[in-house]
Amino acid sequence: MTMYHDIFVEHQPERGYVATALGWPECVGIGATKEEAIAQVCARLTERLARGEIVRVPAGESPPGDPWERVIGQFVEDPHWDEFQDELRRLREEANRA
């Protein structure tokens, strides 16, 4: 199974290219070219992942019912709601014409 990681690549005039795996600050690659820096950071990620495993765990339970139920009707007394909806409609129509 192929895993994908986001890598931030930055050109630094004095060092060439520096690549950092987002979320893995210890996985850094430095190279004269962008490709070299990316290859180094990928090698470091592979080494790191070979020493352990990624486990997905639940982070709590979803609230019961439809999540939209919590917000239904919350603007019923807002005197500006219709004006707000008209402005949204105008913006959508303008964007569709562009």
In this structure, of 8-12, 26-30, 50-54, 59-63, the range with the lowest mean pLDDT score is: 59-63
Q: Are residues 14 and 43 in the same domain?
A: yes
Label residue 34 by pLDDT band (50, 70, 90). very high
Q: Are residues 11 and 40 in the same domain?
A: yes
Residue type, 73: G
In this structure, of 9-18, 33-42, 74-83, the range with the lowest mean pLDDT score is: 74-83
Residue 21 placed within a domain:
yes
Is pLDDT larger for residue 34 or for residue 73? 34
Residue 59 placed within a domain:
no
Q: Which of 16, 9, 18, 6 is nearest to 45 (CA)?
A: 6
Q: Are residues 46 and 17 in the same domain?
A: yes
Residue 62 placed within a domain:
no
Distances (CA, A) of 20 to 24, 30, 33, 43, 77: 7, 9, 14, 12, 50
Q: Is the pLDDT of residue 64 over 80?
A: no
Q: Are residues 46 and 73 in the same domain?
A: no
Domain interval for residue 41: 7-50
Residue 2 placed within a domain:
no
pTM assigned to the model: 0.56
Q: What is the domain count for the chain? A: 2
Q: Are residues 44 and 73 in the same domain?
A: no
Residue 23 placed within a domain:
yes
Residue 89 placed within a domain:
yes
